[in-house]
Amino acid sequence: MSNLRERMLHDMQLHGYANRTQEVYLWSVKKLQQYFQLSPDQISEEQLRDYFIYRKNVSKWAPGTMKIAYSGIKFFFTYTLNRDWTILKLIKAKNESKLPTVLSIHEVKIILGAIKSPACRTCLTVIYSCGLRLNEALHLQVSDVDGQRKLIHVQLGKGAKDRYVPLPDSTLEILRDYYKTHRNQKYLFPKTGHSGKESPVATTCMAPQTVQGTLRATAKNLPTITKRVTPHTFRHSYATHLLEAGVNIRLVQQYLGHSSLTSTMVYAHITKVGHHDAHRKINRLIKGVFK
């Protein structure tokens, strides 16, 4: 599998896929290999058909997981193995239509205040106050922070697109204070290492699992937090809170790095401002009917 894995990895790099996409596509092929205990290039089209049916009907994988499995395996057989199979043309993932989980401003304060790790707390603060993805925040470099113009330069975000996002004054101060704890010349969030003292000389950034695990454990121990919270929840909350504050949706789209306004429009469905205004108008209308 190692040679096939390397070839698939190179194929994905040539296609310009982001690191995270490469990781989940490799995962999907690894799960296929583990299921049959065969090298993937020895799996037949009929076996592949049975595998997808099993994952859908028996494993009952969520639509999002099925989409990753379809996309990753389809890429592998189509481009890495150059197979022209009917099943690869037949499979189609069902798009999820669930609205994202959003925290209130009060909930954001509670969670951030409860996180003991300065590195994780600062990283999540940046994710919320600048609307970044987890990997975008972790890979921020010292040179990406423009303190004079109050901007953060997000380099090679999803789709290999650069963008600038506003940097709130309070977040800038938090970043400056946190930077003093490690003074790494390259990364804002350098790897701390097992000793917790490697940050000043670390040559890589902190691992995503560190932030994810810390957040999960913290939220679990907060009785007032009943929602499932991930780092991406803070990004969802940022977008929703901006819209509720009256920020133009086109600007929100730009700050989030969305290629299409359709992706940003989902937050318009969950803003309290719009619902409250609609509720007020509906009440006035119905009251006029029955008076």
- CATH number of 79's domain: 1.10.150.130
Cα distance between residue 28 and residue 16, in whole Å:
18
Ordered alpha helix ranges (H), 91-157: 105-114, 118-130, 134-138
One of 55, 182, 241, 258 is an active-site residue; which one? 258
Answer yes or no: do 183 and 209 share one domain.
Answer: yes
- Asked about 133 being catalytic, the answer comes back as yes
Q: What is the pLDDT of residue 159?
A: 57
Q: In the prediction, which pLDDT does 279 show? A: 58
**113-to-5, 71, 86, 129 alpha-carbon distances in Å:** 42, 39, 53, 15
* 114 shares a domain with 65: no
State which residues form the domain around 178: 105-274
Residue 128 bears catalytic tag: no
pLDDT digits (tens, 9 = 90+) for 127-151: 999 999 999 999 999 999 999 999 9
Domain boundary among the residues 90, 115, 141 is at: 90
| Catalytic residue flag (residue 70) | no
Asked whether residue 134 falls in the same domain as residue 174, the answer is: yes
75 and 133 fall within a common domain = no
Q: Mean pLDDT, the chain, as a whole number?
A: 89
Q: Does residue 20 have a pLDDT over 70? A: yes
Whether 65 and 158 map to the same domain: the answer is no
Note whether 7 and 147 are same-domain residues: no
> How confident is the model over 205-244, as pLDDT tens digits?
999 999 999 999 999 999 999 999 999 999 999 999 999 8
What percentage of residues in the chain have a pLDDT greater than 70? 90
Residues 59 and 146 in one domain: no
Catalytic-residue membership of 258:
yes
Active-site residue 267, yes or no? yes
Query: Distances in Å between the alpha carbon of 82 and those of 41, 85, 88, 170, 243?
Result: 10, 9, 11, 53, 46
Task: Pick the catalytic residue from 158, 163, 164, 272.
Answer: 158
In a domain, 36, yes or no: yes
281 domain residue, yes or no: no
Establish if 244 belongs to a structural domain: yes
Residue 109 and residue 62 share a domain: no
Task: State yes or no: is 49 an active-site residue.
Answer: no
**How far apart are alpha carbons 289 and 61 in whole angstroms?**
48
Of the listed 67, 121, 133, 241, which one is catalytic?
133
17: confidence class by pLDDT, cuts 50, 70, 90: confident
> In 3-state terms, the chain is what percent helix, strand and coil (to 5)?
60, 5, 35
Q: Which pLDDT tens digit goes with each residue over 37-61?
A: 999 999 999 999 999 999 999 999 9
Q: Are residues 184 and 245 part of one domain? A: yes
Structural domain contains residue 213: yes
Q: What are phi and psi of 190, to 5 degrees?
A: -75, 160
